[in-house]
Structure 1
Amino acid sequence: MSLRRLAAVTAAAVLAGAGVATGAGGAQAAPSWAPAKTAAIHPGTMMYTDGAQCTANFVYTDGAGNVYVGYAAHCAGTGESTDTDGCTTASLPLGTPVTFNERGSLVDEGTVVGRGTLVYSSWDTMQKRGETDPNTCAYNDIALVKVSAADKGKVNPSVPVWGGPTGIDTDGTKAGDRVWTYGNSSLRAGVSVLSPHTGISLGDQAGDGGWSHPLYTVTPGIPGDSGSGFLSAGGKAVGVLSTLGLAPLPASNNIGDLAKELAYAKAYSGISGLALANGTEPFEPVV
């Protein structure tokens, strides 16, 4: 649901796999994060790609100490709003510049607070690999933006309001499970009080191999929220928002399983030691 396709409220979702950074002694030292209260780049930050706005999900690192921010692969897509198959829809190339912004709106992209480069797209990777699994093509919707060296010191991996993530949820969701997210669409015109959402999972979608997790939130995701991350109980990162469902569950949010998406990225991105960065702030699911 990026603003590249304002009407992109079609059905599809995302998902991916997990990882743990390694280094000397079996564990790599965490980057020097900015304080959570003042970090300019974090989960929920607005991201602009060739004029299209999406929302950052989580922060990631690699074995070389690089820092990445994730959003939805379709945020760099160039197809129509109804083109949600990542194995056939064209995308902007790797190397495309991406900016991190604050206070963007429909009439203004706001202030650029950092810069990065698109270095991994599940859509681009699936097409280059010749991926044919229909569930993977439909729901593997994640991209990674490498934060510039000059802006790494502006990053904190904590989710605003909620805190966390505390790791990756590898069990999916069951009907009735509560979830938490932070959407940051420019349609909200910078009114941050509208960004934190809670919701209820509708359970795994039948027949998709665990790739998609439809759910309802108190206020549904809107164009520009695409890419935002969802937390499950205990603050575990469970998925990434891909689209707003029209049928059979109108106004539901469709997310994918982050464990599956990240596993795919670890296998085929060429990024050694790719891993989710846990938040520096404790998960506190209260407003």
Structure 2
Amino acid sequence: MSLSRSQLAAAVAAVTVTLMTAVLMVVMPAPAGAAPTWAPADSARIHPGVQMYTQGAQCTANFVFTDAADNVYVGYAAHCAGTGEATDTNGCDVDSLPLGTPVTFNEGGSLLSEGTKVGSGTLAYSSWDTMGKVGETDANTCAYNDLALVRVSPADVAKVNPSIPFWGGPTGIDTDGTAAGDRVWTYGNSSLRAGISLLSPHTGISLGDAAADGGWSHPLYTLTPGVPGDSGSAFLSADGKAVGVLSTLGLAPLPASNNIGDLGKELAYAQQHSGIAGLRLVNGTEAFDPIL
């Protein structure tokens, strides 16, 4: 069987394209990682509000983050991986567990058990650890910069959704702080609540930002105060923006108040010092709906 001149030219061209494709596949590196596909919000096992355990200490997840390589991180409070007392709040004075420390994501944790493990990760950034390494001296940064990031194990990324349970969002990062009387929305998941999920979503009122702290903190009251185990919880503004991360329970001068660290400042600090390229907040897949 003979080939015409046009058939022969077409065959040569096809072989050439195949060979060039093969060469490019060898020479060009594969992408660093595929963009994550989020689990449906109603069935995701790892999400803002999930319980997180670090060497027996329980906290609550706040927001989901990604980086330039499409790794996925879940945030909580840096003091959740601190090595000091539960009452320690100054991250420049207290050591942190080392990066790489295992962290688990759990459901149903209580005073009796840690509940059911639904995923795992490793500590990838801690503002407390970082401030010690860079020699931070700014008093407000030391007092209020309380954010840590846990890299989700690759095998568990498919279980993640970035939406805040019950409320939806976040819709971005708040950049103008809070004024006295502003409403805020949050979702705590302390093991002290014995798994009663109806107590997890609640709202609160800002007490106004104090100029003296440089915009690093937002004191507030919530309908039921954040308690140990709620640390790290996400707080949203009236338009669903990420305002801050629950850090401390106030005893004086505002008893039973809470203090949240400003997420915009905390994230900017992490972007500058963590070494994680392209670190950014992920918006929720569910619309923010302040139904209460």
Instruction: Indicate the percent of aligned positions where both proteins have the same amino acid.
Output: 80
Is 2:273 aligned against 1:268?
yes
Q: How does 1:56-95 map to 2 (within 5 A)?
A: 56-95=61-100
Aligned to 2:101: 96
Distance (Å, rounded) in 2 between the aligned partners of 1:29 and 1:206: 43
The runs of 5 or more residues in structure 2 that have no matched partner are 1-32
Shift of 1:81: 2.7
Normalised to the residue count of structure 2, the TM-score between the two structures is 0.88
Shift of 1:82: 2.9
Aligned to 1:193: 198
Find the residue that maps to 2:269 and give its secondary structure. Answer: helix
Shift of 1:83: 2.0
Distance (Å, rounded) in 1 between the aligned partners of 2:252 and 2:171: 33
What is the letter of the counterpart of residue 59 of structure 1?
V
Q: Identify the match of residue 44 of structure 2 among 17, 29, 39.
A: 39
Distance (Å, rounded) in 2 between the aligned partners of 1:223 and 1:101: 16
Aligned to 1:258: 263
Find the residue that maps to 1:266 and give its secondary structure. Answer: helix
What is the letter of the counterpart of residue 192 of structure 2?
L
Aligned to 2:6: none
Q: How does 1:108-257 map to 2 (within 5 A)?
A: 108-257=113-262
Alpha-carbon displacement from aligned partner over 1:175-199 (angstroms, at most 9, x marks no partner) = 0000000000011111111100100
Shift of 1:29: 8.6
Shift of 1:228: 0.4
Distance (Å, rounded) in 2 between the aligned partners of 1:103 and 1:81: 22
Aligned to 2:17: none
Shift of 1:256: 1.0
Distance (Å, rounded) in 1 between the aligned partners of 2:34 and 2:98: 32
Alpha-carbon displacement from aligned partner over 1:2-54 (angstroms, at most 9, x marks no partner) = xxxxxxxxxxxxxxxxxxxxxxxxxx995200000000000000000000000
Q: Identify the match of residue 277 of structure 1 among 270, 274, 282.
A: 282
Structure 1 residues 29 and 97, CA gap change in structure 2 (3 angstroms): closer
Shift of 1:114: 0.2
Shift of 1:205: 2.3
- The runs of at least 4 consecutive aligned structure 1 residues that moved more than 6 Å come to none
Shift of 1:57: 0.3
Distance (Å, rounded) in 2 between the aligned partners of 1:32 and 1:81: 37
Normalised to the residue count of structure 1, the TM-score between the two structures is 0.89
Aligned length: 260
Alpha-carbon displacement from aligned partner over 1:134-154 (angstroms, at most 9, x marks no partner) = 000000000000000000000
Shift of 1:84: 1.3
Distance (Å, rounded) in 1 between the aligned partners of 2:135 and 2:68: 28
Shift of 1:201: 0.3
The runs of 5 or more residues in structure 1 that have no matched partner are 1-27
Aligned to 2:53: 48
Greater relative contact order structure (CA < 8 Å, 6+ sep): 1
- Bigger shift: 80-89 or 272-281? 80-89
Higher helix content, 1 or 2: 2
The structure whose Rg is larger is 2
Structure 1 vs Structure 2 CA RMSD: 1.1
What is the letter of the counterpart of residue 86 of structure 1?
G
Alpha-carbon displacement from aligned partner over 1:90-142 (angstroms, at most 9, x marks no partner) = 11111100000000000100000000000100000000000000000000000
Distance (Å, rounded) in 1 between the aligned partners of 2:100 and 2:67: 18
